Structure 1
Amino acid sequence: MKALKFIGIGIVGIIALLLIIAMIVPKDYTISVSTTVNKPQAVVFDYVKMIKNQEHYSVWVMKDPNVKIEYTGIDGTVGAKSSWVSLDDNVGVGSQQITKMTDSRIDVDIHFEKPMKGDDSGATIVEAISDNKTKLTSEFYGHADYPMNLMSLVFTGFIKKDIAQNLANAKKNLESQP
């Protein structure tokens, strides 16, 4: 009986500790990953502004070859939107829409329905380093309410890894073009 009591106290203590840690973990977070692409800024920008091109470099799109994607609006312009439906929980159900665009930045709102509901945003930033070198940055802006913000400590690592792979795929695709 004493062992069960100590186990119970230990479990309550761990839960309390996690809830206290969650109080100091930020609710808002930004994940930013960059790479250098050996192509002019205009070429890189023209490639990444097209949502449909994500079929060729986004690990999330490529995880499910049976994903159903619907495109609305004029691709590569403000208002363009992709909506997806997948039975694979790694892809889920959601949409992204271009909300703002300059000649070096594309902002998107991202809406998730499944496996979890949520609204986040992201940006792709394309900066010329030289005539034939471009810094390509992908940013994801997330929010998690208390106490789920504790989970963001884990999720951010997975998201960062996937964003880095997206950029590597885009870089490979761009640099293989003549």
Structure 2
Amino acid sequence: MKVLKFIGIGIVGIIALLLIIALIVPKDYTISVSTTIDKPQKVVFDYVKMIKNQENYSVWVMKDPKVKIEYTGVDGTVGSKSSWVSEDDNVGVGSQQITKITPNRIDVDIHFEKPMKGDDSAATIVEAISENQTKITNEFYGHADYPMNLMSLAFKDFIKKDQAQNLANVKKILESQP
């Protein structure tokens, strides 16, 4: 009986500790990954602003070959949108829409329905380093309310890994083109 009481107190203590840690973990976070592509800025920018091109490099799209994607609006312009439906929980159900385009930045709003509901945003920043070299940065802006903000600590690593792979895929695609 004392052992069960000790285990119960231990479990309550761990939960309390996690809830205290969640009090200091930020609710808003940014995940940023960059790489350099040996192509002119315009070439890189014109490629990544087209949402449909994500079919060629996005690890999230490639996780489910059966994903159903619908595109609305004029691709690569403010207002264009992709909506996806997948039975795979790694892909889920959601949409992204371009909200702003400047000469070196594309901003999107992302809406998730499944496996969890949520609204976040992201940006792709494309900066010329030289005439034939470009720095590309993917940024994801997330928010998690208390106490779910504790989960963002692990979640950020998954997103960062996938963002890095997406950029590696874009680099490979663009640098293989003449």
TM-score range, shorter chain: over 0.9
1:123 is matched with which residue? Answer: 123
Letter in 1 for 2:110: I
Tell me the distance in 2 between the aligned counterparts of 1:25 and 1:84: 31
Letter in 1 for 2:76: G
Q: Secondary structure at the match of 2:151?
A: helix
Spell out the pairing of 1:88-167 with structure 2 (5 A cutoff): 88-167=88-167
1:107-136 Cα deviation digits (max 9, x unpaired) = 000000000000000000000000000000
1:23 and 2:26 correspond: no
Tell me the distance in 2 between the aligned counterparts of 1:97 and 1:170: 20
Letter in 1 for 2:133: K
Tell me the distance in 2 between the aligned counterparts of 1:166 and 1:74: 23
2:13 is matched with which residue? Answer: 13
2:37 is matched with which residue? Answer: 37
Letter in 1 for 2:34: S
Instruction: Return 5+ residue gaps in structure 1 as ranges.
Output: none
Letter in 1 for 2:29: Y
Deviation at 1:25, TM superposition (A): 0.1
Q: RMSD between aligned alpha carbons?
A: 0.3
Q: Secondary structure at the match of 2:82?
A: strand
Deviation at 1:61, TM superposition (A): 0.3
Letter in 2 for 1:144: A
Tell me the distance in 2 between the aligned counterparts of 1:9 and 1:76: 56
Tell me the distance in 2 between the aligned counterparts of 1:64 and 1:4: 45
Letter in 2 for 1:148: M
Deviation at 1:43, TM superposition (A): 0.2
Tell me the distance in 1 between the aligned counterparts of 2:167 and 2:130: 19
1:44-82 Cα deviation digits (max 9, x unpaired) = 000000000000000000100000000000000000000
Deviation at 1:5, TM superposition (A): 0.6
1:65 is matched with which residue? Answer: 65
1:73-111 Cα deviation digits (max 9, x unpaired) = 000000000000000000000000000000100000000
Tell me the distance in 1 between the aligned counterparts of 2:177 and 2:23: 49
Tell me the distance in 2 between the aligned counterparts of 1:140 and 1:174: 22
Tell me the distance in 2 between the aligned counterparts of 1:117 and 1:42: 35
TM superposition score normalised by structure 1: 1.00
Runs of 4+ residues over 6 Å off in structure 1: none
Alignment size in residue pairs:
178
Tell me the distance in 2 between the aligned counterparts of 1:92 and 1:12: 33
Letter in 1 for 2:135: K
Letter in 2 for 1:83: S
